[in-house]
Amino acid sequence: MSPIQEKGMSLIVKTVTKLTVGFILLYGVYVALTGHLSPGGGFAGGVIVALAFIHVMLAFGKEVALRRLRSQTLRVSIGVSALIFLYIVMAGFSGRSIFNCEITIPICEMAIVGFGLFAIFTALVLLSKTDKDAE
Amino acid sequence: MIEINLLLIFMIAGALIAVRVKDLLSSVIAVGAVGIALSLGFLILKAPDLAMMQLVVEILSLIILIRATIRKDIPFSMSGGWTFNTSATIVFLALFLAVAFFALKGMPVFGNALMRVSGAYITQSPALGAKNIVAAIMLNFRALDTLGEATVLFTAIVGVLAVARKIGHKKES
Amino acid sequence: MSEYLLCLILFSIGLYCVVRKRNLIKIIIGIGIMEYAANLFFVLAGYRKTGRSPIFSADQQVLNMVDPLPQAVVLTAIVIGLALTLLLVAVSIKIYEKYGTFDITKINKLKG
């Protein structure tokens, strides 16, 4: 096994994570998209998406999770979705926007919250890593 | 409503343990128990949106607090002016509770909300295509409020990434 | 009435923790407890005894459900509380890295 595979938790946790993380992501998107019919909404869905990525990161170590979702992708998607969100809300003053609000607002919220919280978690983990090296 | 009273007593016990215990990891886990009890309380008070949100947010903040406090459970000293500080704090809290007790008499009795504002929201929201009225208020009637919330969260993300960046850190060491 | 009082006692426990404790993580925990109590107070104020959860159905009347407006406000407040906790944790980890302690009186002394 390569040294990257050795990191993280035990084999049982890794196998269960491989099986379940797709379903957790799917559930997060479902909660975000059906927020107007049932309990949920963009923010709850976004936090669930962030928890799915954090789950991968805790089980496999930070290299694997960051290889799947690069830092540049995180920043670009947070920025673009924040701009689309701002545009939609400001277009409410003129009365008409080019997007469908009921779909786009939850997707944008989900992107901001999910990717943003995962970026915060990554930054905090990297921060405590340097702390450990200093000790 | 005996259930919500029992849950509140459980939450107070959890909060007391979280305040009094010396070990930081035990304290963080006790405050996690308080948050999960709050999620159950939202479910009893007929707020399923809030219950889901509180559960998910509690898990995330618990993970991050544990990452922050792990291997750092240093004992901390209480020195200098202990009696004065504690007595001043207790007098302050007693004043706060007394004033709040008199202010509670102006509120409607528990279980009889007035619903003067939200009556209009409830009657208008089915025409907008949203069955969940909380989501209708957040996305239609008060969308600017949601924009402010997203702005606060975005600012917090930028702030954490700026505080925790590595560039300045390496130059110092 | 007793629900409101218990909620205020929970708030004052958090306030005691913020005012009296000297550890940064304990202060963050106290702010979290105060936030829980404030959120719960809003939802308690909007509760109706005969109400259902605020999801629309066919035989709906205005006085038939709990008040949805405090729930929408609290949903905003929960997210802001999460952002506040994250920012405080990041700053306190940075302080621990610089001074080697979470004790705020020692941090004051080191600063001079």
Whether C40 has its CB under 8 Å from any CB of chain B: the answer is yes
Q: How many CB pairs under 8 A join A and B?
A: 104
Q: Under an 8 A CB cutoff, do C94 and A39 touch?
A: no
Query: In this predicted model, which residue has the larger pLDDT, C22 or B74?
Result: C22
pLDDT higher for B74 or C4?
A: C4
In whole angstroms, give the CA distance from residue B171 to residue B99: 52
CA count, 13 A, side-chain hemisphere, B155: 9
Maximum average pLDDT range among A76-80, A126-130, B10-14: B10-14
pLDDT of amino acid B9: 93
The more confident residue out of A59 and C61 is A59
Q: Would the pLDDT of A1 be above 50?
A: no
Checking if the pLDDT of B39 tops 90, the result is: yes
The CA distance from B124 to the nearest CA of chain C, in Å, is: 11
- The residue range of the domain holding A8 is 3-134
Contacts of A72 (CB under 8 A, 6+ apart): none
How would residue A134 be classed by pLDDT, with cut points 50, 70 and 90? very low
For residue B173, what is the nearest residue in chain A, using CA coordinates? A134
pTM: 0.87
pLDDT band at C41 (very low <50, low <70, confident <90, very high): very high
Q: Which of B3, B4, B5, B8 should we substitute to test contact with C (largest number of C Cβ atoms within 10 Å)?
A: B8
Nearest Cβ partner for C23 among B48, B76, B110: B76
**Interval B103-128: pLDDT, tens:** 888 887 887 777 778 778 887 777 77
Is A53 at the interface with chain B, CB within 8 A?
A: no
Residues of B in contact with C13 (CB under 8 A): 12, 15-16, 19
pLDDT of B157 reads 87
Interchain proximity B157–A78, CB inside 8 Å: yes
Res. A90: pLDDT tops 80: no
pLDDT tens for A17-68 read 889 999 999 999 898 888 778 887 888 888 999 899 888 888 887 777 777 7
- What pLDDT was estimated at residue B106? 82
DSSP state of B116: T
pLDDT at B13 over 90: yes
Chain A nearest CA to B134, separation (Å):
8
Binary contact (A127, C55; C-beta < 8 A): no
> Which pLDDT score is estimated for A11?
86
CA angle B58, B59, B60 (to 5 degrees): 90
Provide the pLDDT for residue A2.
Answer: 47
Nearest to A119 among B130, B134, B161 (CB): B161
* Contact predicate C30/C110, CB 8 Å: no
Question: pLDDT at position C40, please?
Answer: 93
Domain count, chain A: 1
Name every chain B residue with its beta carbon within 8 A of the beta carbon of C2: 5
Do the chains contact at A51 and B173, CB–CB below 8 Å?
no
Per-residue confidence band for A97, with pLDDT thresholds at 50, 70 and 90: low
| DSSP labels, chain C | -HHHHHHHHHHHHHHHHHHH--BHHHHHHHHHHHHHHHHHHHHHHT-BTT-B-SB--TT--GGGB--HHHHHHHHHHHHHHHHHHHHHHHHHHHHHHHHS--BHHHHHHHH-
CATH of domain C2-50+64-111: 1.10.287.3510
